[in-house]
Amino acid sequence: MSQKLTNKLTPEQKALIRVYREKWQKIALSTKPINRQKAAEGIQLAYALMGDPNPEIVFSDSPRAAFDILLEKIWQRWKSQDDYGHRHIFKDRWELLRRELEMQVTHQLSTEIDSQIAEGSLQPEQLWSHILYSQIEEEWQEIISEISIKLLCLWSYPIPTELWSSYVAWIDFCISVLGCNYNSDDWQVLESIVKHCGWIYPLRNICIICDRPRKLLLDDEYRPHAVEKPAIEFSDGYSLYAYHGVRLPEAYGKLNPQEWQSEWLLTTKNSELRRVLIEEIGYEKICQDLQTVEIDNWQEYTLLRIDDDADIEPIFILKMICPSTGNIHTLRVPPDVNSAKEAVEWINWGIDSEDFSIQT
């Protein structure tokens, strides 16, 4: 084992952390078709290292198409009790590689590299896999429930390789900049798979490799986002609608947010989707569209309750009419307020409403 490195990075080394972080982030967000030959070579080496050489390698145009292939393969080998996935083995090998590198640097240095890579890295919820996985999982559950619960112990969850961009950036930096000793085979496998594969479904004797999306539209915070069109789309047409990182049903995503309907809140169970709908539709329109009950009045203020199951907890709205312009404003208040005056005090940080000579 090499001697421990210094616990202080040079200015040049610190500057390179950003370079390696952005290098792998760019790969994670790539929409270029994968290099199938290099992807297959990486998978073949990985399986050989795990004692399962010469796996059948199948390519698919999207993660959804990959699952269809997976179901067919599992169905063909229904009675094969050792046909479990290699997902955990992949993860174990790469964690071992990182531990080997961590033993060659001080804890302080490791923490510093971690924090600087994480500082500008995309969070898991920003990467397209986060919401794509939730959509496909819903589709999986519907299909699995129609076949047999036994499939749950035979199928393999996918590895969304782009989720490991910051993890690989850390390893790449330690190897390439700090000169740490490493297992070349393990690094070749990890680098090749994350660089050249989309999602992978690793089963024993077979691995399904997905292509990357051909279209990936993001907002300023790198969250999947598009209006009236898919935010993520694969070459086979499989797509996903999203609004600032929140997955939308196709029927909602095809419409402009100005056309969204208040009634959707009554059937929407997902809290994040409900939040987006409320923010974009606005409380004023929600009050107009859904049945409301007037709770209390005070001066130009009216406390309303939406008398429908539109959110997890009851929606209480303070309606305000500007005395000079007649404009109407609405603001949501906690459901435990009992009067319009109490709602006004809550809006104004607990200041007694009687202390206001002019309400604004």
Q: Please tell me what DSSP assigns to residue 72.
A: H
Residue scoring higher pLDDT (243 or 358): 243
So what's the pLDDT on residue 354? 60
The model's pLDDT over 110-138, given as tens digits with 9 standing for 90+, comes to 888 888 888 877 676 667 787 887 787 77
How far apart are the C-alpha atoms of 240 and 61, rounded to whole Å? 15
**pLDDT band for position 236 (50/70/90)?**
very high
Is the CB of residue 196 less than 8 Å from the CB of residue 212? no
User: What pLDDT, in 10s, does the model give residues 3-53?
Assistant: 555 577 899 999 999 999 999 999 999 999 999 999 999 999 999 988 888
Under a CB-based contact definition with an 8 Å cutoff, are residues 226 and 218 in contact?
A: no
The pLDDT score that the predictor gives to residue 148 is 53
Q: Where does 5-86 have alpha helices with state H? A: 11-28, 36-49, 63-76
Contact 185, 133 (CB under 8 A): no
pLDDT over 90, % of the chain:
35
3-class DSSP state of 274: helix
Q: For the segment 65-110, what is each residue's pLDDT rounded down to a tens digit?
A: 988 887 777 666 555 555 556 667 777 888 889 899 988 888 888 8
| Distance of alpha carbon 70 from alpha carbon 155, whole angstroms | 8
Q: Which helix (H) or strand (E) holds 206?
A: strand 206-210
Percent of the chain residues topping a pLDDT of 70 = 83
Radius of gyration of the chain from its Cα atoms, rounded to whole angstroms: 27
Going from N- to C-terminal start, the domains of the chain cover 11-213, 277-355
- CA gap 241, 141 in Å, rounded: 20
Overall average pLDDT of the 228-238 stretch: 96
Please tell me the predicted confidence (pLDDT) of residue 312. 73
In the chain, the amino acid numbered 239 is: S
Query: Measured between alpha carbons, how far is 311 from 107 in angstroms, rounded to an integer?
Result: 46
pLDDT band of 357, cuts 50, 70, 90:
very low
Among 288, 296, 299, 359, CA closest to 333: 296
Pairwise CA distance, residues 91 & 99, whole Å: 12
Q: Which of 89, 118, 113 is closest to 101 using CA atoms? A: 113
pTM above 0.75, yes or no: yes
